[in-house]
Amino acid sequence: PKMKRRCDVTSNWLCVQFRGVLERADAANVEISKLAVQPNSEGGKEDTANVTSVEELIYNHALASGRDGAVKHLLGQYEAARSCYRSAGLLAETLLMEVNIGAEDRKILEGYVDGFAARITELDQLMLQQSRMAGSTNTASSHRRGSGVVGLIGPSSAAPTFLVGSPR
């Protein structure tokens, strides 16, 4: 009962925080779209095509986090790699919540999410093996973690081939 209550409180807090982030992202997206065409000093319109959309920034950061995770994974920095993969997966899942996303983009993002979840599961197994090999009696921390990015997905049998450093 006490643990369930703590989980509920944490879950509610995370939901509120996440909604706040989404609201700020939507507000930023509205402001960015206002900047798409601005009048120039001669009274004409100037296309500011160099403005990057919020979705593109999130996508690029998800890929960068995934690459960082792959590098850390290869270097044996498993906790740091897990954190990078988790961030990358959460960002990709955020993009999947967009209503205007195309079918092909959705498929690609789902592949990334599944791939990141598979890497997290793989790292959890590696860390568990490491702790067993080290003779550690405290493996409870490995069991507390979920293997999915948010728990909405499970491990994938076919991770996308476009992830850098795919240890298969």
Element (H, E) at 9: helix 2-34
In single-letter form, the type of residue at position 29 comes to N
pLDDT digits (tens, 9 = 90+) for 37-66: 555 555 555 555 566 788 889 999 999 999
Give the residue with greater pLDDT, 165 vs 121.
Answer: 121
Name residue 39's beta-bridge partners: 45
Is 0.75 surpassed by the pTM of this model?
Answer: no
- Alpha-carbon separation of residue 11 from 21, 26, 71, 120, 134 (angstroms): 15, 22, 31, 21, 34
Contact 92, 113 (CB under 8 A): yes
DSSP state of 51: P
How far is 139 from 143, CA to CA, in rounded Å?
7
Give me Rg for the CA atoms of the chain: 20
Q: In this structure, is the dihedral angle defined by the CA atoms of residues 82, 86, 89 and 91, taken in order, positive or negative?
A: negative
Q: What is the pLDDT of residues 71-100, one digit of tens each?
A: 999 999 999 999 999 999 999 999 999 888
